[in-house]
Amino acid sequence: MTTRTLLVTAAALVLSAGWAQAGDAKAGLKRYLKNCVNCHGKTGKGMASFPPLKDRDAAYVTDRLKKYRAKEKVGPNSAVMMSWAIKLSDEEIANLAAYVSTTFKSKSQ
Ligand code: HEC
């Protein structure tokens, strides 16, 4: 590896680690109870066509919420999520990702 490649790799690692941990789970909880709990449930198990959020890591949740916010369709019911995600700031997305990824775990893990 060249020095340049090493530097780029190190920068990417720092960025992705910072990105995944940047959220405030407590603030995420508040927001979750306000806007998300009705569909995804108190324990993140979802219901009917509302998918469970269990075992989703922060990067996954962040990616999904940003896609919905950008009006990108990722599943059959993305339109439902777009109307919620459009109101979220980057910070709120990070907070929600922190909350979801640290709170909703299936027992087997
Ligand atoms: C009106 C019901 C409803 C509300 C409120 C809602 N969601 Fe969703 N959510 C859905 C549906 C339906 C999908 C599946 C969308 C699709 O098909 O792409 C989804 C998908 C998701 C996904 C992707 C799940 C996966 O497995 O890929 C995440 C993450 C998510 N929602 C988080 C949230 C957060 C955070 C909030 C609060 C800001 C929220 N949702 C509010 C109904 C809802």
Tell me the C-alpha distance between 34 and 57, whole Å: 21
Q: Is residue 82 assigned to a domain?
A: yes
pLDDT at position 104? 95
Q: Is residue 14 assigned to a domain?
A: no
Q: Is residue 75 assigned to a domain?
A: yes
Q: Residue 2 pLDDT more than 80? A: no
How far, in Å, from the CA of 79 to the mean position of ligand 1?
10
- With the most atoms of ligand 1 within 8 angstroms of its CB, the residue from 35, 40, 82, 90 to mutate is 40
Q: Residue 56 pLDDT more than 80? A: yes
Atom of ligand 1 nearest to the CA of 38: 5
Q: With a 6 A CB cut-off, is 84 part of the ligand 1 pocket?
A: yes
| Residue numbers of the domain that contains 40 | 23-103
Tell me the C-alpha distance between 31 and 95, whole Å: 8
What's 93's domain CATH number? 1.10.760.10
How many structural domains comprise the chain?
1
Q: Is residue 17 assigned to a domain?
A: no
Q: Is residue 51 assigned to a domain?
A: yes
Per-position DSSP letters for the chain, written without gaps between them: --HHHHHHHHHHHHHHHHHHH-S-HHHHHHHHHHHTHHHH-TTS--BTTB---TT--HHHHHHHHHHHHTT---STTHHHHHHHHTT--HHHHHHHHHHHHHH---TT-
pLDDT at position 17? 53
Cβ-based burial of 32 (10 A; exposed 0-12, middle 13-18, buried ≥19): buried
Q: Is residue 35 assigned to a domain?
A: yes
CA 47 to chain centre: 18
7-23 pLDDT, tens digit each: 676 666 555 555 545 79
58-74 pLDDT, tens digit each: 999 999 999 999 999 99
Q: Is residue 30 assigned to a domain?
A: yes
Average pLDDT on 80-96 reads 97
Q: Is residue 84 assigned to a domain?
A: yes
